Amino acid sequence: MLSKNQSKYLNSLQQKKYRQEYGHFLVEGGKSVLEVLDADFQIETIFVTDKFYKENTQKLEKQPFRLEIATADELAKAGSLQSNDAAIALVKTKPNDFLYADTSEYVLILDDIRDPGNLGTIIRIADWYGITKIVCSLTTTDWYNPKVIAASKGSFTRVRGYYTELEDYLEKIKSTECKIYGTFLEGENIYKTTFGQTGYIVMGNESNGISEPVEKYITHKITIPRFGSAESLNVGIATAIVLDNWRRG
């Protein structure tokens, strides 16, 4: 049974300021909790329903964390999901470590992605295409936002994030002479783009695209050609198209 204080604490972690203050975030739902069990995150406590515990007893009892039984109603009230008949994991956030592109690797850079659902989807897409590092502007939504974690469908356990001032970051990496690709309305047709062996791909804000301070560091402007009349593409969909063409190239 969840105590009132436990429920209040878990509920507070829906807010960024408390996640940052306490260094914890929530992983909710059976599938995501099972994924984080196999990842290199430090789990403090897992709150599970009796049914979920019985279905996963062997896996749960091997782990070095506290395990507490709760009802589905208690889990739903403590977390952000409308219904949760499985589990909530209380997990420690990771240090904000510097990330860069190793040889024969690409890093995704996100410039002011505000929507948590979009960020979670991008993390999932990155995981699908083998991108393991994402660099985020300081104005990009929090990696540990419950909506981001939910939308990533467990991919947050395999993709690392790093938050920084993008101008400073790009100033540092420009000396590596790696290609930096960015999406613009006017640029080289992505279907004709030849990607280098190592590099970076920048995706911009949902409404305004890549900001002017970041634009000056882009070495290769690319565009997804439009054949119909839609005004724009969702940034998650655009990311998938760019990464798919990168892989094809």
The reported pLDDT for the residue numbered 12 is: 96
Using one digit for the tens of pLDDT, what is the confidence trace for 149-160?
999 999 999 999
For residues 130 and 176, is the Cβ–Cβ distance under 8 A? no
pTM for the full predicted model = 0.95
Query: Which tokens go with 30?
Result: 């059976």
The rounded distance, in Å, linking the Cα atoms of 122 and 145 is 14
Using one digit for the tens of pLDDT, what is the confidence trace for 68-96?
999 999 999 999 988 999 999 999 999 99
The reported pLDDT for the residue numbered 231 is: 85
For residues 214 and 111, is the Cβ–Cβ distance under 8 A? yes
Using one digit for the tens of pLDDT, what is the confidence trace for 202-213?
999 989 999 999
Q: Which of 210, 202, 33 is nearest to 131 (CA)?
A: 202
For residues 91 and 42, is the Cβ–Cβ distance under 8 A? yes
H or E stretch at 126: helix 116-128
Using one digit for the tens of pLDDT, what is the confidence trace for 167-182?
999 999 988 889 999 9
The reported pLDDT for the residue numbered 175 is: 84
Residue 28 carries which side chain, given as an amino acid letter? E
Q: Mind listing the domains of the chain with CATH numbers?
A: 4-92 (3.30.1330.30), 106-248 (3.40.1280.10)
The rounded distance, in Å, linking the Cα atoms of 151 and 145 is 10
DSSP 189: E
The reported pLDDT for the residue numbered 200 is: 98
H or E stretch at 91: strand 87-92
For residues 25 and 19, is the Cβ–Cβ distance under 8 A? yes
Using one digit for the tens of pLDDT, what is the confidence trace for 1-19?
889 999 999 999 999 999 9
pLDDT greater than 90 at residue 62:
no
Using one digit for the tens of pLDDT, what is the confidence trace for 102-147?
999 999 999 999 999 999 999 999 999 999 999 999 999 999 999 9
Only one residue has tokens 């993709």, namely 159
pLDDT greater than 90 at residue 162:
yes
pLDDT greater than 80 at residue 63:
no
Q: What is the mean pLDDT of the chain?
A: 95
Using one digit for the tens of pLDDT, what is the confidence trace for 232-247?
899 999 999 999 999 9
- Phi/psi for 98 (5° steps) reads -60, 135
The reported pLDDT for the residue numbered 157 is: 96
- 102-137 in b/e form (b: 16+ CB < 10 A) is eeebbbbbbbbbebbbbbbbbbbbbbeeebebbbbb
Residue 35 carries which side chain, given as an amino acid letter? E
DSSP 99: -
